[in-house]
Amino acid sequence: MSNKIKNSSSKRLEIERKFLVKNNAWRKGAKGVIYQQGYLSTDSSRTVRVRLEGKFGKLTIKGKKIGIAGDEFEYDIPLNDTKYLLKKICKQPIISKKRYKVPHGGLVWEVDVFEGENKGLVIAEVELKNAEQKFKMPAWLGKEVTRDRRFRNANLVANPFSKWKDKLTR
């Protein structure tokens, strides 16, 4: 995902594109990790996220996105702190999903299959080196949703997919 430094700050510019997933062709051989994530702040100019990635805790601070890019800082945090923050301090509901890493065209796509309040939503994202980077799109990708704020995980807390009136066309 990024060049993160263990137990230290990892500031970087995150450049990503997001797409709906139109079929299950990506699943062959893919193994997922359960993610639980909550938000301490979902302000439009910054988000502060707590995430349990399998057995590892992370605290992530993201700045406002400009186009498809934004600053990101990520830190390892103790597992017990992660669980406490998710249960007691983060906004509810917690985002639950299973993330799969799927190699394609020299890049690694992250496919998130959401559960709970967001069940039925499947999104693929890819991180790029620069905003103009060209890449080969997998056949299983659907509509691009990079600039649609509804698909940001932080927004899925206040407005979960299960409550959307207009269900998606992939």
Show the tokens assigned to 124: 């693929």
Q: In this predicted structure, what is the pLDDT of residue 29?
A: 83
Give me the pLDDT at residue 39, please.
Answer: 97
Tens of pLDDT, residues 52-79: 999 999 999 999 988 888 999 999 999 9
Rounded distance between C-alpha atoms, residue 13 and residue 4, angstroms: 12
What range does the domain containing 81 cover? 12-163
Q: Evaluate whether 33 touches 53 at the Cβ level (below 8 Å).
A: yes
Alpha-carbon span 58 to 7, nearest angstrom = 10
Is there a domain that residue 32 lies in? yes
Distance from C-alpha of 42 to C-alpha of 25, rounded to nearest angstrom: 33
Count of structural domains within the chain: 1
Residue 5 counted as domain residue: no
Domain-embedded: residue 94: yes
Residue 151 has pLDDT above 50, yes or no: yes
Question: Does any domain span residue 112?
Answer: yes
Q: Between these two residues, 70 and 170, which has the higher pLDDT value?
A: 70
CATH of the domain at 87: 2.40.320.10
Query: Amino acid identity of 55?
Result: K
Does pLDDT of 156 surpass 50?
Answer: yes
**Is 39 a residue of the active site?**
yes
CA distance 80 to 151: 29
Domain-located, residue 3: no
- Provide the 8-state DSSP code for 89: I
d(CA 158, CA 129): 31
Q: Establish if 170 belongs to a structural domain.
A: no
- For residue 93, cis peptide bond before it (omega within 30 degrees of 0): yes
Classify residue 1: in a domain, yes or no. no
- Of the residues 39, 75, 84, 100, only one is catalytic, namely 39
Position 4 in a domain: no
Q: Which of 112, 170, 100, 108 is nearest to 141 (CA)?
A: 170
Nearest by Cα to 114 from 64, 164, 69: 164
